[in-house]
């Protein structure tokens, strides 16, 4: 792998330029208007893979956004890595809070700023460029490769189960490599051993047939915005526990062992506060920040809107009110069951005369990795070589629906090796990725391929 | 006045066409982008008055939108009517709920649909055309006229006090005629004897410096959208009384007399429910619908927004949350004092780490008319002649800040004679005005001028 590492180091700036080209494509999966851009981005990546020398790849249509799939078989006797990643990104709003435009990547102070810089185009490129490093060097690729890159990660991977069912035989592999997670801090190599699940819900309330004048009707009608506030206020109790009946059913009480594991991970309050934009911590009563964002579930409202939102005054009683909310789930919780509990609870709060529509927008199952799998062990060796210390095992707070789906469909173990930081503004304005971490990630993946290929 | 009444009847369709021309101008006072349209609308009305034969009128600039002012002295010995009205309109949003576009007036089933059709361009035109009816007929105008038409009624008449102070000598009059109120129902002529006051407030909450990823931070930070919901939920108690401390200070307990007056007014539950778009009634505990919208104050949230509001899912914890809210006030309540109470109360609810900015957007004092003034008596006679029954005296639920301002600045009594209906969708999509009511209003104003001029 020595030559591949050298090539990667020498070619880094060219490859950042390739990444910038990909980041310019606004592949926003959640917005229907951007479906053309999604197709364009998928085709761009396939063309790029072919130019690298991976011929056998293609864009494959689904009921939603296209998948990129294919294979590169070096030697049937070698183990196979199935590369997962996603080329879709979150919407850039609020756009006016970005320092540079979200789809005009800019490098400032050693970081690349753009929507998707780290989640996930930047991290996916570490893997693609690790492959290119072998292909351009005198080192032979020590593994076979398969690809399943999707365009719906940010919207819940709705088309992935059907795709996996249709392609289960051709996608069989010895590990699923996922570079879409974070490190504890820039000096602490991190393997993610668990992911929280997700239930994402939209709530639409309707009162009167139309908006009403607040002079003529103020004081005499149920105000749908007040009802929305009552619903949201009722989602948590005074201990900041989720008040939806049955929400914690099936969630194991944290044992001393698990709590000790979480407590043993590095945690720096100053760094946390900075990443959290100066937030005051507020957790489920009795749990630490680290516990509340890993081994405990939670519920957050992600957006609300209704009535007049323009300049100045409009004296109106609105007829509609809306909210988006989502739960992060842990082992023992079923995403669809949680949705049903939320729906029933909201129905029990909303008064007569207000119509409530509660709709699921996305699900993701909670996931736990096998820390002794061939992939996790190879990744641990690779990370130790690059960072000079063995990686920590981290239960992540986020969700990657695909990981549980691959496990369910193919029985494949996952290797979650990520290089993001909580302070990268993922899903927020000024998302960025440090070029140093891009290079460390690239070197780590090159080494991972080597160790995964040679390990018995 | 016989000839004037005949001219008005004959010319009705021409005058509706004039009104339609005025309704085409989107004079939305609350939106800064529309200041050019405000100027255009004021100039259009002045040109129109001059074409009618009222030469001595002009557009006069203020710190906000322009005023239209001037006079038409027929004979110094005649009594003088100061005509008030407003050429500004509410924003048309939500535009997609209009059957025809808000600024492309359309007549359907004997009603004219447009923003401003009744509030207030349509009602102002009844007065302007009553004047034109005299000018085009053999009947001499039986009164002198002065004009003070404003462009800031929908935003709280902020520039009016300074204008009135500067022009108090030239605006002296024997009554202020205001056609900007409603009738109890199409068959019940109505004089408005009181108006509620208004305090309009914007609430801006800020949490973290920027939006946060709900996977990384969900369960560990104060969510500003939850705080907004807590604030709104805390604005009312379980009896649907406003929970802001001191809100009801100074409000008289309703006496049996006042309650009997309210109860004696016509009230049709079927018609109310239709006007209220099918709303389920919800009042301050112990009060009827009619009481809750006339002799009792109230508080309504008019709009909320924050976080992700687009299609699909965005797993974000927002850093900002916003609400607009307003109170309708009755005699004994001071609009600025109510603002201070709301501001203190919100500050007491918002937790550490959330910054709350509470800003006043507009004020209007509650108003009570003298039912025995020369203007009210002349209006009662006019309405009785047109409708065949004497008018009811109605305490209105809405607010016209200007009315108290004129009284304070000029000492002038007001005559509030209106022809709107609660079902006209004022401030809402599909605002409309019945052409039959336009004609009844026009005839009533012609007769009002006659009786006001001849009454001693």
A82-136 pLDDT, tens digit each: 999 999 999 999 899 999 999 999 999 999 999 999 999 999 999 999 999 999 9
**How many beta-carbon pairs under 8 angstroms link A with B?**
376
Closest-CA distance of chain A to residue B175, Å: 25
**In which residue are the tokens 């322009």 written?**
B66
How many CB atoms lie under 10 A from the CB of residue A76? 7
Q: Are B92 and B413 in contact (CB under 8 A)?
A: no
- The model's pTM: 0.85
How far is it, in rounded angstroms, from Cα A225 to Cα A213?
Answer: 14
When pLDDT is averaged across residues A320-332 and rounded to a whole number, the result is 97
In this prediction, residue B455 carries a pLDDT of: 64
| Pairing assessment for the beta strands B190-195 and B392-395 based on DSSP bridges | parallel
Considering only CB atoms, which chain B residues are within 8 Å of A401? none
In this prediction, residue B254 carries a pLDDT of: 84
Q: φ and ψ at B232, to 5 degrees?
A: -65, -40
How far is it, in rounded angstroms, from Cα B384 to Cα B376?
Answer: 12
Query: Cis before residue B119, ω within 30 degrees of 0?
Result: no
Residue B456 clears pLDDT 60, i.e. is over it: no
CB crowding A304-340: b at 16 or more within 10 Å, else e: bbbbbbebbbbbbbbbbbbbbbbbbbbbebbbeebbe
Nearest CB to A292; choose among B211, B219, B427: B219
Q: What is the ipTM of this complex?
A: 0.85
pLDDT tens for A283-294 read 999 999 999 999
Test A311 with B32 for CB contact under 8 angstroms. Answer: yes
Considering only CB atoms, which chain B residues are within 8 Å of A219? 283-284, 292-293, 296-298, 300, 328, 397
At A422, the pLDDT band (50, 70, 90 cuts) reads: confident
Q: Assess B30–A contact: CB distance below 8 Å, yes or no.
A: yes
How far is it, in rounded angstroms, from Cα B277 to Cα B425?
Answer: 10
Test A302 with B310 for CB contact under 8 angstroms. Answer: no
Rg over alpha carbons for chain A, rounded to the nearest Å, is 23
Closest-CA distance of chain B to residue A28, Å: 11
Residue A456 clears pLDDT 90, i.e. is over it: no
Considering only CB atoms, which chain B residues are within 8 Å of A322? 309
Test A280 with B309 for CB contact under 8 angstroms. Answer: no
When pLDDT is averaged across residues B48-66 and rounded to a whole number, the result is 97
In this prediction, residue B60 carries a pLDDT of: 97
pLDDT tens for B237-260 read 999 999 999 999 999 988 889 999
Considering only CB atoms, which chain B residues are within 8 Å of A338? none
**In which residue are the tokens 């004081």 written?**
A219
Test A308 with B297 for CB contact under 8 angstroms. Answer: no
Q: Assess A162–B contact: CB distance below 8 Å, yes or no.
A: no
How far is it, in rounded angstroms, from Cα B337 to Cα B8?
Answer: 47
Test B30 with A422 for CB contact under 8 angstroms. Answer: no
Handedness of CA B380, B383, B384, B390 (dihedral sign): negative
pLDDT tens for B196-235 read 999 999 999 999 999 999 999 999 999 999 999 999 999 9
Q: Are B135 and B141 in contact (CB under 8 A)?
A: yes
Q: Which two tokens stand for residue A136?
A: 């351009």
DSSP string computed for A347-394: HHHSPTT-EEEEEEEEEE--EE--TTSHHHHHHHHHHHHHHSSPPEEE
Q: Report the candidate in A34, A347, A340 with the shortest Cα–Cα distance to residue A201.
A: A340
Residues 6+ apart with CB under 8 A from B250: B332, B333, B334
Test B324 with A314 for CB contact under 8 angstroms. Answer: yes
Closest-CA distance of chain B to residue A298, Å: 5
Q: Are A362 and B215 in contact (CB under 8 A)?
A: no
In this prediction, residue A455 carries a pLDDT of: 64
Closest-CA distance of chain A to residue B338, Å: 16
Considering only CB atoms, which chain A residues are within 8 Å of B353? 278-280
**In which residue are the tokens 């004021």 written?**
B42
Residue B288 clears pLDDT 80, i.e. is over it: yes
Considering only CB atoms, which chain A residues are within 8 Å of B198? 215, 315
Q: Report the candidate in B200, B224, B196 with the shortest Cα–Cα distance to residue A308.
A: B200
Nearest chain B residue to A353 by CA: give it.
B280
Q: Are B379 and B415 in contact (CB under 8 A)?
A: yes
Residue B374 clears pLDDT 70, i.e. is over it: yes
> Which A residues in the span 332-391 are in contact with B, Cβ-Cβ below 8 Å?
351-354, 361-362
Considering only CB atoms, which chain B residues are within 8 Å of A422? 213, 216-217
pLDDT tens for A125-164 read 999 999 999 999 999 999 999 999 999 998 889 999 999 9
């Amino acid at each position: 792998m020595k030559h591949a590492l050298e090539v990667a180091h020498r070619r880094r700036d060219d490859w950042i330029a390739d990444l910038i080209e990909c980041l310019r494509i606004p592949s926003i999966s959640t917005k229907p208007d951007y479906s053309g851009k999604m197709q364009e981005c998928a085709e761009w990546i396939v063309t790029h893979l072919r130019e690298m020398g991976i011929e056998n790849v293609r864009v494959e249509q689904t009921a939603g956004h296209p998948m990129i799939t294919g294979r590169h078989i070096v030697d049937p006797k070698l183990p196979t890595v199935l590369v997962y990643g996603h080329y879709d990104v979150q919407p850039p709003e609020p756009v006016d809070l970005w320092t540079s435009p979200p789809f005009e990547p800019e490098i400032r102070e050693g970081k690349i700023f753009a929507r998707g810089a780290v989640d996930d185009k930047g991290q996916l490129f570490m893997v693609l460029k690790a492959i290119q490093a072998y292909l351009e060097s005198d080192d032979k690729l020590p593994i076979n490769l398969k690809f399943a890159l999707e365009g719906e990660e940010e919207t819940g991977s709705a088309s992935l189960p059907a795709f996996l069912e249709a392609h289960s035989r051709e996608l069989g592999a010895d590990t699923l490599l996922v570079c879409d997670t974070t490190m504890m801090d820039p000096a602490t190599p991190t393997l993610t051993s668990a992911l929280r699940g997700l239930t994402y819900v939209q709530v639409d309330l309707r009162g009167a047939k139309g908006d009403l004048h607040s002079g003529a009707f103020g004081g005499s009608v149920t105000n749908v915005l007040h009802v929305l506030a009552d619903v949201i206020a009722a989602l948590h109790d005074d201990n900041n526990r989720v008040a939806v009946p049955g929400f914690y059913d099936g969630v194991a009480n944290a044992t001393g062992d698990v709590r000790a594991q979480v407590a043993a991970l590095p945690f720096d309050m100053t760094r946390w506060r900075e990443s959290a934009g100066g937030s005051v911590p507020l957790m489920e009563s009795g749990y630490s920040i680290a516990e509340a964002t890993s081994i405990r579930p939670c519920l957050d409202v992600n957006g609300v809107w209704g009535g007049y939102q323009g300049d100045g005054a409009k004296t109106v009683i609105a007829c509609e009110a809306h909210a988006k909310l989502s739960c992060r789930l842990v082992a023992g919780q079923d995403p669809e069951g949680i949705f049903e509990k939320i729906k029933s609870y909201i129905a029990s709060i909303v008064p007569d005369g207000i119509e409530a529509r509660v709709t699921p927008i996305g699900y993701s199952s909670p996931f736990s990795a096998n820390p002794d799998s061939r992939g996790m062990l190879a990744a641990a060796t690779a990370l130790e070589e690059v960072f000079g210390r063995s990686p920590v095992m981290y239960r992540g707070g986020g969700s990657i629906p695909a990981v549980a789906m691959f496990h369910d469909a193919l029985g494949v173990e996952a290797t979650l090796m990520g290089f993001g930081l909580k302070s990268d503004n993922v899903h927020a304005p000024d998302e960025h990725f440090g070029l140093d971490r891009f290079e460390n990630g690239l070197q780590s993946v090159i080494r991972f391929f080597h160790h995964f290929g040679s390990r018995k």
